[in-house]
Amino acid sequence: MTTQVSAPPIAAARVADATKLYGRAPAIVRALDAISVTVREGRWLALMGPSGSGKSTLLHCMAGLDTLTSGYAEIGGHSLGDLDDDQLTMLRREHVGFVFQAFNLIPSLTAAQNLALPITLAGGRPDRSRVEAMLANVGLSGRARHRPSELSGGQQQRVAVARALITEPDVVFADEPTGNLDSQSSSDILALFRRAVDDLGQTVAMVTHDPVAAAHADEVVFLFDGRAVDHLEAPTADRVLARIKPLGG
């Protein structure tokens, strides 16, 4: 007789019982309160919640940019708590991509150089045809030699997304990636994430306060006071809005 056991979802990244405290008594802030979240491989997870609910803290701790006060965090099966600073830096370089609200491109470098930065920083030599293909992929052929100041906000963020994807990381973490963009540029960025997940099998964890942006994801986790209080599969903007309203977000 055979027994069918359904396998647990493969975690590209996850935290379990994760708590993060800031400050010291009597002014301690509990930014994360024993929260558990799994970012499933090949999926796009959106994190929503009111301002101050712990979204950025969660993203930073999941990505190894900040450390938990207690609890467990892993990326690609590597337990972050077991790594020293150098190992954590290596893990971030090889396994994680980042996209921030403020683009964070280096002003003195061209679009091509910014895009290739994760490879250059790791001591590698970026393959020119690969860089060109990535630029074309985000609709920026012919912009390789432009500096950030010569690009619109939407174009800069497209470079940032390509930079986050070029190492084929286990997870791309994005903190309000459309927060500084007009609606057309926002939908361009969201379409890039969608294609990265659907066509390249990439994994995305994205903080947003925009129900329309969250509706592009595969699932939404809602935060309140450092805890995961709700979860939505196959979100639509209307359903996201209905869940976020009672949280005051």
Residues in contact with ligand ADP by CB under 6 A are 22-23, 29, 31, 49, 51-57
Residue nearest to Mg ion (CB): 56
From CA 32, how far away is CA 58, in angstroms rounded?
Answer: 7
For residue 176, the minimal CB distance to ligand ADP (Å) is: 8
**Which two tokens mark 241?**
């809005």
For residue 144, the minimal CB distance to ligand ADP (Å) is: 34
Question: Residue with structure tokens 């309000």?
Answer: 176
Are 163 and 87 in contact, with CB atoms under 8 Å apart?
Answer: no
For residue 55, the minimal CB distance to Mg ion (Å) is: 5
CA 191 to chain centre: 15
Closer residue to Mg ion (CB): 138 or 206: 206
Closer residue to ligand ADP (CB): 58 or 197: 58
Are 31 and 20 in contact, with CB atoms under 8 Å apart?
Answer: yes
For residue 50, the minimal CB distance to ligand ADP (Å) is: 7
Q: Which residues of 232-249 are buried (b: 16+ CB within 10 A; e: fewer)?
A: beebeeebbeebbeebeb
For residue 176, the minimal CB distance to Mg ion (Å) is: 7
- Which of the choices Mg ion, ligand ADP, none does residue 22 contact, using the CB cut-off of 5 to 8 A by kind? ligand ADP
For residue 174, the minimal CB distance to ligand ADP (Å) is: 13
Are 138 and 196 in contact, with CB atoms under 8 Å apart?
Answer: no
Are 119 and 167 in contact, with CB atoms under 8 Å apart?
Answer: yes
Closer residue to ligand ADP (CB): 193 or 222: 222
Bridge partners, residue 228, by sequence: 223
Residues in contact with Mg ion by CB under 5 A are 55-56
Closer residue to Mg ion (CB): 41 or 66: 66
Are 37 and 62 in contact, with CB atoms under 8 Å apart?
Answer: yes
Give one DSSP letter per residue of 137-192, joined into a string: HTT-TT-TT--GGGS-HHHHHHHHHHHHHTT--SEEEEESTTTTS-HHHHHHHHHH
Closer residue to ligand ADP (CB): 22 or 102: 22
- Which of the choices Mg ion, ligand ADP, none does residue 47 contact, using the CB cut-off of 5 to 8 A by kind? none
- Which of the choices ligand ADP, Mg ion, none does residue 49 contact, using the CB cut-off of 5 to 8 A by kind? ligand ADP
- Which of the choices Mg ion, ligand ADP, none does residue 155 contact, using the CB cut-off of 5 to 8 A by kind? none
Closer residue to ligand ADP (CB): 51 or 184: 51
